[in-house]
Amino acid sequence: MAFFSYFQIQMKRIGTLIRTFPLELVFWIGALIGILFIDPYGAQHFTLCPLENLGFHWCPGCGLGRAMSLLTKGDIAASWSMHPLAMFAFGAIGYRIFELIRHLKTTNHYG
Amino acid sequence: MANVLRHLPELEGMELGYIQGILKNMDDDQANLFAQVYRARRKDNQMVLILCLLGFFGFAGLHRFILGQIGLGILYILTLGLCFIGTIVDLVNYKSLAYEYNIKVAHETLSMMSNNTNYFPNVNTKTGDNV
């Protein structure tokens, strides 16, 4: 009996942990860190893209990661020709991370 | 002390708990007004889910526009939801997206009510705590 109630309390704690886990924040920060480790000059590039893995060889987002990576290395002209939205993507994602961190406290607890 | 189940029975999960926290400082009249305004302005998380699913048919990021995140909305729609990856993450995460927006709406509603009428002489509208 005591064992089961302990088990229930643990399950409840895991449940709240999953519900309050800031998935989106982790995703955006992970994406930015991942972009820092891309080698944009390589001929073959590793891709996560589900469309690419399905066999489509072009989509409107192609090259965005490499373009952002080139931007961090200071190669603005190459970045623009790879994908013109790289700067905008940095702005939008950075602002979103800022907002998520700002709301982290208030959205999880009332008051 | 007003009961959230009486005024806003459609809420569930974390949102239910949060709104109960707000309503506990109100009497039934105030809670009624709050419930009317809040119900008209909040976004249902199923709508976020459906708009997010439209991302697989080429209209990605509509849910970001609806939730007031214009910058990310433009980024999603021009890159097919970051090549579907962003759309898939939002598909997992749609409840917290809607929840975050609704909390913002709840706080706007609270401060609007305390500005218009002198409904909350003793409630701090920023935090909702009793002063």
Residue that the structure tokens 């399905």 belong to: A54
pLDDT, chain B, mean: 85
Question: 10 Å Cβ neighbour count for B83?
Answer: 24
What is the H or E stretch that residue A15 is in?
helix A2-20
Measured between its terminal Cα atoms, the distance across chain A in Å is 36
Nearest chain A residue to B88 by CA: give it.
A50
Averaged over B11-25, what is the pLDDT?
87
> Does A62 contact chain B (CB < 8 Å)?
yes
Higher pLDDT, B26 or A17: B26
pTM, rounded to two decimals: 0.78
Facing B21 at nearest CB: one of A61, A88, A111: A111
Task: Test B83 with A49 for CB contact under 8 angstroms.
Answer: yes
The answer to whether B67 touches B48, Cβ cutoff 8 Å, is yes
**Where are the domains positioned within chain A?**
22-39+49-108
Identity of the residue numbered A84: P
Question: 10 Å Cβ neighbour count for A23?
Answer: 13
pLDDT at B120 > cutoff 70? no
Averaged over A84-102, what is the pLDDT?
89
Q: What is the pLDDT of residues A25-80, one digit of tens each?
A: 889 999 889 888 877 776 666 677 777 777 777 778 788 888 888 888 888 888 88
B111 three-class SS: helix
